[in-house]
Amino acid sequence: MQQLSQTADLNLDFYKKRAKALLKAARAGDPGANARLKRYGAQGEPALHAAQLAIAREQGFSSWPRFQAFVIESNLDFRELVDRFIAAATSDGRRAHDILAEHPDVAQAGVYAALVLGDWEKVADAIAADPNFATEPSGPEGVEPLVYVCFSRFGTPNSPRAARLALTVRLLLNNGADPDTVFAAEHGPLSCLYAASGLLGNAEITRILLEAGADPNDGESLYHATEHRDLTCMKLLLEHGARVDEANAIKHILDREDREGLRLLLEAGGDPNLANAQGDTALHWAVRRGRSAAIITMLLDAGADIDAVRGDGRTAYAMAVVAGQRAVAGTLASRGADTRLSALDAVVAGQGGEVPPESVASPANARLLPQLAEHGNIAAVEALLKAGVPVDARGDMGETALHQACWRGNAALIKLLLAYGAPLDAVECSFNATPSGWLHHGATNYGHGDYAEGARLLIAAGVSDWTEPSGNPAMDAVLREKGLIPE
């Protein structure tokens, strides 16, 4: 458990003022203040985040956010701390584990802590005392007990508490809990089945809920179950009647290279010709997401329309040629695809000619820029930029080409886009993140690029908003070198 060096000063405003005072002293040239900043890796002009980090490190914490959370929680009375733990357990697993490590007594603090931790014996006692306990909303979150259990981040498949949480689910169901219980989230209701199968990938709890009658067609479960490499939850949902097309499951599984998952969805009746609002069929989506020729062949064998035209007028073949996916383009051509290209696509594909001015002004063609960046086609991106397509053109998620380049750690493309003035502060609409956020997240969740060089390029361009390690050793070495995260 972490301890403050000055335990009497558990006041966040006090430490904020100390950080500002340290920053002011460093900017005034105080040698001692500057030495404190440099001790924790600060370089260049003194900055507030460096002063906050120094204060946090001097108190024994790895970062300002963790220190800040500890100070806030240390000022809570025990009941408030328990409520905070329960809220974290159903929304922020890392924070919940931190609270439990720092304040182990919360584990013994009543039935709602027992629910999120899977202490089913205490839950059984609560049901014995109140037969309605399993069915009525209650506790600090005002939800049914089944929600606390199914949304608990202690229920990940490899968690030592997963088995006990599964027993708790069964106990609640046996005492009247509705397997279709939902949590009223900000953007719409989310079912306990979604939490088990899609959010956590817990096959045992998924099985228990389905066998108790949970509806697999809740609009979320199958879609998110495709995100897990372990396909057990997805298989369970399909076995219990999940409808593939209602969940948009085929396109979502095409976000990664998963032939077995795709096979299961197609065999379950998924329609490869179902189009989204942009006119993308599964074949278009597979090309856009950079899937292999083998995946393309699977879709064609399942009846995908090879010459279907999406909203911007492109076929899958045109998309593949423009993106530089030669193997996929070759497969499509060998299966009889129409190989004609527009004037713009021919130029982007390096086949010569000139870009028609009206093509540059087309919003659909502007959206092509982030898509080409997604595929790492530097030559095609540069061709569009030279033709006049704006470097801040937005894709379907509101992302720029720089977002896509950062996600993949494509340092050469990042350098090119920065040279054309790509905005560093552009925020996309799915996660409200900037390109630097995509680099930080991609460093461990995509992980195949040169994230260290990407970080150097963004830092040189003025980015300094990273305060936590990314988990990528090479990138984190750069962030430490630049004083953005602690040693």
Q: Which domains does the chain possess? A: 353-487 (1.25.40.20)
Residues 11-20, mean pLDDT to the nearest whole number: 82
* pLDDT surpasses 70 at 476: yes
| Whole-prediction pTM | 0.76
* pLDDT surpasses 50 at 1: no
**pLDDT category of residue 76 using cuts at 50, 70 and 90:** low
Looking at residue 9, what is its pLDDT? 43
Looking at residue 487, what is its pLDDT? 65
* pLDDT surpasses 90 at 246: yes
Residue 175: CB atoms within 10 A of its CB come to: 17
Alpha-carbon distances of 342 from 81, 359, 467, rounded to whole Å: 62, 10, 46
Please, are residues 475 and 457 in contact by the beta-carbon 8 Å criterion? no
Looking at residue 7, what is its pLDDT? 37
pLDDT in tens, 250-290: 999 999 999 999 999 999 999 999 999 889 999 999 999 99
97: left (phi over 0), alpha (psi -120 to 50) or beta: alpha
Looking at residue 324, what is its pLDDT? 87
* pLDDT surpasses 60 at 382: yes
Looking at residue 170, what is its pLDDT? 98
* pLDDT surpasses 80 at 74: no
Mean pLDDT of all residues in the chain?
Answer: 91
pLDDT in tens, 419-446: 999 999 999 998 899 999 999 999 988 8
Looking at residue 6, what is its pLDDT? 38
What percent of the chain lies above the pLDDT cut of 70?
97
**pLDDT category of residue 4 using cuts at 50, 70 and 90:** very low
| Dihedral, CA of residue 277, residue 278, residue 279 and residue 281, to nearest 10 | -90
* pLDDT surpasses 60 at 197: yes
* Nearest-angstrom CA–CA distance, 486 and 36: 12
